[in-house]
A and B are shown apart, each in its own frame.
Chain A
Amino acid sequence: MLKKEINDVLKQIVFFTAAVLLLPAFLIITTIISDQSYFSVFFPLFQFGLIFGAFFMGSSLFSLEHGQRGMEYLLSLPYSRLQLIGFKILPRIITVMIFFVAFWILYNAGGEDLAAFPFAPFSAIYFFLFLISLSLSANSENFLVLFVASFFSLFICFGLLFLILWLVMLIKGIPFSPLFLRYFFTWEHAAEASAFILFVASIFLLPFLISFILSFKKYDIRPAKVYNRRYFKFFTPILILGFIVSFLFVYWSTGTGYRQYYLTQDLKLIESHPYSGIKIYEDNKVHKVEADFYFWWPYLEDNEYLYDGSFNKIIRLNTTDYMAELLYEAPSERDITWQFWKYDQTIAFVERTEKRERNRKRYFSDNQLVLVDEASKELTRIPLEYQLLEKSYSPTLIGTDRIDGRQFWLICTGRYKKNQILRIWEDGQIENIGESQKAPLYVNRMLISYTDKDVIISREKEGHFETIRKTPNSQGFQFGVGYLRINLNNVSLKEVYGWRRGPKSLKYARLSLENFEIEEFGETKGYLQFFYPDKYYLVETNHIASAVNVYEFKEGKMKLLRTFSDFDTTEIRNRFRLCKGGVVIREGKKVRVYAFPDLKEIKFKKL
């Protein structure tokens, strides 16, 4: 019996594969879209094909038997109904998984930029549609009816999910927004938010699957309405139960959602939460910040101000008068790229519009360097008309300076074409001043860039950057903690630290900004964290000992500040955060705070 099903499914695969492979070729040959490559036509069609294939795989469970008048014969075979389902489902599930793996491989092999649907929504639609159409396959012999019913059910699944999310938001008083789901998820990582949404949506699959299994146990050749009546007798209460369970789960999980904490340099603890807003703890006081927008995460701390740039908004929180202020919000079609930077009283960032070429590859048009004056909120927009930037996913501002009264900004194009370094002048003039193998750095009015073997130190001289020193860098260290230098103010530094990733650990080195010598001084696991202007810390997690060590780098020495041996590193929801003021540990609802310089524990009475 299993052999018969495998044969049937193989025949379906042959037809499906032939159609999906030949259609793009046909379109290209007939010159309808002759200027495109086969793959660029194939991949979006492949996605649509897979969606319909998933529906077909599910809904065709009994179509062959119906089509060849074999249903009575099938049911009279010496198998229980559940065995029959097992024989039929097994090869179909394997097929659906094989096609999904094929999709995954092609998606990662260049399909991502060509995709008609992004990965996560596509995967959800693909598997949901397969399971829904599978569970409805015995409800009708009519393919068109099954098609409408399956897609409608898919819509119902996601519709109910959004209804629940919306209802819970309404009850909890979370402001509705087109981006409401981003504001809504209670766990800190987007991946978990997707898993959360997928989990809740999956609850609505259960009525379909359970009803199918229960009602198919007594499936027979009577008219479909007899089976359908039995199916809906199971389906309706399970759907209602599923709705209640999902609602309670969403209500509960958002109700106990985790809060974000940040410790400022002057030892104020900032608590932010998607719907209970922002609170600032000080010794024995707590202040609630009134704001109509959500403050996601303190991205930059500068004196009494904290800045957040999430969701294309730049928000400034004043920790002395407890006011939050929206400094800038990008127009709906525009994106603030990568992050924002600050110098003096100016916030600077690259803003652009994401578009797709005919072959569906992404590009970025209307690139602008936007400068926001914090005091007046006045905007200056400098067009960045440079073709390389249209292809660069992450143009990064690495520095700014003035020469002869003229301001310039240095932008690195990111990994695209080996980090081209561009200088942008106030009048929009752009000059390419070279390339760097690794992310360059502008510090002490010097540009630090890299060749394969050397660190190149150059300085502005009469309109161009002149190399003043080449330091051999055979170990391939990268200095300055990459792009994390958010504050671009030019201050005088004695040293910068850097790292090189080895096979099992990280090696650390110091670059003296006085004699430009590289001094390798440590090898460990962990990550380097930088705070403007000159603080470097290393956070080392030891999962075996369940401990976290925090080191400080100073004058070429690595000093252990504290070992946190009571932190459970295995629980993924626990958070160990290094902030400008110290360390905040959150384990479940319990929060502990440790302040620099020696990381002694401090208490907040109202916390």
Chain B
Amino acid sequence: MTEKIVEVENLKLNIGRKKILDNTSFELHKGESVVIAGRNGSGKTTFLKCMANVIFPDQGSIIFSEEVPQEKIGYISDQLSLFENYTVKQGIHFHASVFQIEDFDYTLINELKLDLKQKIKNLSAGERTLYHLSLILAQKPEILLIDEIIHVIDPYLREKFLEAVIDLMDRCQTAVVMVNHTFSEIEKIPERVLVMEKGQFILDEKSETLGEKLKKVVSEAEISKEVPCIFQRELSYFREYFVYPFNEQLRKKFPYDYKNTGLNEIIKAFIGGQYVKKGNQ
């Protein structure tokens, strides 16, 4: 395993009486790519903002290794927050001066054919996302934090965005933490998948093992209640059961037709399961 660059321990954060983060712990390693999923309001955005120094937790600690000073943390917020009265050029100059960037790479800006005199507030959401990413890339960050932004951009720009992120990971060994709902576009990125619920991580698995541990059973009849099913859904004339954790002993005892499923569906099952749980409470 590569070296640990962030250690988050027992984060607690309340807003009013509502617990947003509840003893959340997490580790991140150099070059690792992580996707955090979870239903709305589960605390994943707040968690990312804590890592980006935008929110201070009430309790707990976030310790970055010595090679990750704050200048080496790149953060793209879900608000695409920038000083939007600046022109594209002013924004670049400001960012470069604050992060002491000497050789700003205009490749992405040029590909987008952005007018440098245009104000940031007049950029489209997609242009603004790519522009923000180009600022962050110039930092050559050790950690890149991306908060639920991919779904607002069109497929062409989304591909460009992901290509740039993957290229950064390859070139700089940057660790990436993304908060996302949909995985169809980014299935190749995460090495680790985390699911958050009520301010805690209820799933933290390597992507490669997750497919082994979660199987889908499609059946017209109900399956045994002894099978650990995290989520089931009724379709027109059959049902889908998502079994987790799955192992070969389970197959021997309950010989259903266990099928592999994609990351997108796995996450959907976990999130759906939490909604069902909440409904039963």
B71 touching A78 by the CB < 8 A rule? yes
Task: Give a binary string over B1-19; 1 marks a CB under 8 Å from any A CB, 0 the rest.
Answer: 0000000000000011000
Question: Which of chain B's residues have a CB closer than 8 A to the CB of A73?
Answer: 77, 81-83
Interface residue? B235 (CB, 8 A) = no
Question: Given the complex of chains A and B, what is the CA–CA distance between A198 and B253 in angstroms?
Answer: 85
Q: A4-B94, A69-B79 are in contact. Are A76 and B85 (CB under 8 A)?
A: no
- Return A83 CB to nearest CB of chain B, in Å: 11
Contact assessment for A78 and B98 in the assembled complex, using a CB-CB cutoff below 8 Å: yes
Asked whether A78 lies within 8 Å of B55 as measured between CB atoms, the reply is no
B133 within 8 A of A: no
Q: How many Å lie between the Cα of A77 and that of B55 in the bound state?
A: 13
Tally chain A residues at the interface, Cβ within 8 Å: 24
Contact A222 B55 (CB under 8 A): yes
CA–CA, A319 to B65, complex, Å?
84
A73 to B84 Cα, complex, angstroms: 10
A226 at the interface (CB under 8 A from B): yes
Point out the residues of chain B lying under 8 angstroms from A330, CB to CB: none
A71 and B98 contact, CB distance less than 8 A: no
Q: Are A69 and B53 in contact (CB under 8 A)?
A: no
Q: Most chain-A Cβ atoms within 10 A of its Cβ — which of B52, B83, B98? A: B83
Chain B residue numbers with a CB within 8 Å of A67 are: 85
In the complex, which residues of chain B have a beta carbon less than 8 angstroms from the beta carbon of A226? Answer: 15
Q: Given B16, B83, B85, B99, which contacts A78 in the complex, CB threshold below 8 Å? A: B99
- Judged by a CB distance under 8 angstroms, whether B258 is at the interface is no
**Chain B at the A interface: mostly helix, strand, loop or mixed?**
loop
Tell me the A588-604 residues at the B interface (CB within 8 Å). Answer: none
Q: How many residues of B contact A (CB 8 A)?
A: 26
Question: Do A72 and B77 form a contact, CB below 8 Å, given A78-B69, A221-B49?
Answer: yes
Given A1-B98, A65-B83, A70-B82, the answer on whether A78 and B70 have CB atoms closer than 8 Å is yes
A66 to chain B, nearest CB (A): 11
B121 touches A76 (CB 8 A): no
Q: Which residues of B contact A74 (CB under 8 A)?
A: 83
Q: How far is the CB of A400 from chain B (nearest CB, A)?
A: 75
Q: In the assembled complex, which residues on chain A have CB atoms less than 8 Å from the CB atom of B52?
A: 72, 76
Asked if B94 contacts A72 (CB within 8 A), the reply is: no
User: In chain A between 202 and 256, which residues have their CB closer than 8 angstroms to a CB of chain B?
Assistant: 218, 220-223, 225-226
Chain A residues contacting B152 (CB-CB under 8 Å) are none
Chain A proximity mask over B77-102: 1 for CB below 8 Å, otherwise 0: 10111111100000000100111000
Q: Which residue of A lies closest to B14 (CB)?
A: A226
- Residue B183, interface by CB 8 Å: no
Contact B97 A3 (CB under 8 A): yes
**What separation, in Å, do the CA atoms of A3 and B86 have in the docked complex?**
14
5 A-B pairs within 8 Å (CB atoms) are namely A64-B85, A75-B53, A78-B98, A223-B15, A226-B15
Residues of B in contact with A (beta carbons under 8 Å apart): 15-16, 49, 52-56, 69-71, 73, 75, 77, 79-85, 94, 97-99, 121
15 extra interchain contacts, Cβ-Cβ under 8 A, other than A68-B83, A69-B80? A64-B85, A65-B83, A69-B81, A70-B81, A70-B83, A71-B81, A73-B83, A76-B54, A220-B49, A220-B55, A220-B56, A221-B54, A222-B15, A222-B55, A225-B16
